[in-house]
């Protein structure tokens, strides 16, 4: 069979289904990428290179040519051409490149590259970029994110949880103050979502989640909601990843209700 390996996925050539017997002798033939690479779509595309600061140190410089020419080499295509540019005329074969992109600016791909700025990127790469900073969501958006995430978790796990508006506001107020502290790692959206999941409580009469035999057990309708300060304390491990940051956050928590005050 003919395959194109990219380190994570294996693509099977469709002709293998039509001619399985002859496939073994056609390993050097065109892989499925050749079909799609030589027939670019007529519409405009968006290409996302996510978290480039986590790639190998040489990667930003390695893609400079590809970003300028909107082409890249695919050795697995099994075809070869002639070197263009400074090496032209040398006759040295090179891996086939994807077709030149149409000159129509309306069809030029939009390249979106994200970075968390965990390390400085090369100046040559940065000069070719136009920057847009994604602002941290405001409280209104975070309220919506939390609510939607709890719904999605219910769809995946069967845990029908709720975090009422006052509890969400208390959590977001705490996170806002915590993010203003000189901590090593500020809590992001994913940490807030995980914390919201930890302090959420089952809806009255809702299933608490899967039990033995994949059955679900209904929560008692009269079940008393745990103290919010107690739940926030349990969520510290989701909001702060380092011990010093956890200590800072715990010092900011509201006092827990004592048995005498209940």
Among 75-79, 148-152, 244-248, the range with the most confident prediction by mean pLDDT is 244-248
Asked whether residue 83 is domain-assigned, the answer is no
Residue 215 has what pLDDT? 39
Other C-beta atoms lying within 10 Å of the C-beta of residue 91: 8
Q: Would the pLDDT of 206 be above 60?
A: no
Asked whether residue 155 is domain-assigned, the answer is yes
Residue 52 has what pLDDT? 93
Asked whether residue 225 is domain-assigned, the answer is yes
Asked whether residue 64 is domain-assigned, the answer is no
pLDDT in tens, 24-54: 334 344 444 444 545 555 677 888 999 999 9
Cα 137 to Cα 117: distance, rounded to the nearest angstrom: 18
Domain that residue 151 falls in:
139-255
CA angle at 41 for the pair 36 and 42, rounded to the nearest 5°: 160
Q: Would the pLDDT of 208 be above 60?
A: no
Q: Which of 85, 128, 104, 113 is nearest to 40 (CA)?
A: 104
Identify whether the C-beta of residue 205 lies closer than 8 Å to the C-beta of residue 162: no
Asked whether residue 92 is domain-assigned, the answer is no
Range in 6-20, 120-134, 139-153 the model is least confident about: 6-20
Q: Which of 75, 72, 63 is nearest to 4 (CA)?
A: 75
Cα 176 to Cα 111: distance, rounded to the nearest angstrom: 33
Cα 131 to Cα 198: distance, rounded to the nearest angstrom: 35
Total domain count, the chain: 1
Residue 157 has what pLDDT? 80
Task: Output the CA–CA distances (angstroms, integers) from residue 238 to 110, 171, 185, 187, 220, in the order listed.
Answer: 35, 12, 12, 9, 27
Q: What is the mean pLDDT of residues 194-212?
A: 70
Q: Give the sign of the dihedral formed by CA 193, CA 198, CA 199, CA 201.
A: positive
Range in 125-139, 144-158, 201-215, 223-237 the model is least confident about: 201-215
Asked whether residue 247 is domain-assigned, the answer is yes
Asked whether residue 202 is domain-assigned, the answer is yes
Residue 68 has what pLDDT? 82
CA angle at 22 for the pair 21 and 24, rounded to the nearest 5°: 95
Asked whether residue 165 is domain-assigned, the answer is yes
């Amino acid at each position: 069979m003919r395959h194109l390996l990219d380190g994570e996925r294996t693509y099977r050539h469709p002709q293998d289904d039509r001619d399985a017997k002859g496939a073994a002798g056609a390993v050097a033939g065109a892989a499925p990428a050749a079909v799609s690479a030589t027939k670019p779509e007529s519409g405009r595309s968006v290409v996302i290179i996510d978290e480039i600061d986590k790639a190998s140190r040489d990667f930003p410089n390695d893609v400079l040519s590809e970003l300028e020419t909107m082409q890249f080499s695919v050795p697995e295509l099994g075809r070869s051409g002639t070197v263009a540019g400074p090496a032209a005329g040398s006759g040295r074969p090179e891996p086939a490149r994807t077709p030149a992109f149409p000159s129509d600016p309306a069809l030029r791909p939009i390249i979106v590259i994200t970075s968390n700025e965990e390390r400085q990127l090369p100046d040559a790469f940065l000069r070719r970029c136009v920057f847009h900073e994604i602002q941290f969501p405001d409280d209104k958006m975070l309220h919506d994110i939390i609510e939607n995430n709890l719904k999605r978790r219910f769809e995946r796990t069967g845990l029908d949880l709720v975090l009422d508006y006052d509890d969400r506001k208390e959590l977001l107020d705490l996170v806002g103050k915590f993010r203003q502290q000189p901590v090593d790692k500020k809590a992001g959206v994913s940490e807030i979502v995980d914390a919201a999941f930890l302090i959420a409580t089952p809806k009255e009469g809702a299933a608490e989640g899967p039990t033995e035999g994949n059955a679900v057990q209904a929560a008692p309708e009269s079940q008393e909601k745990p103290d919010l300060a107690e739940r926030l304390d349990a969520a510290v491990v989701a909001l702060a990843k380092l011990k010093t940051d956890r200590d800072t956050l715990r010092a900011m928590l509201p006092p827990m209700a004592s048995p005498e005050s209940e």
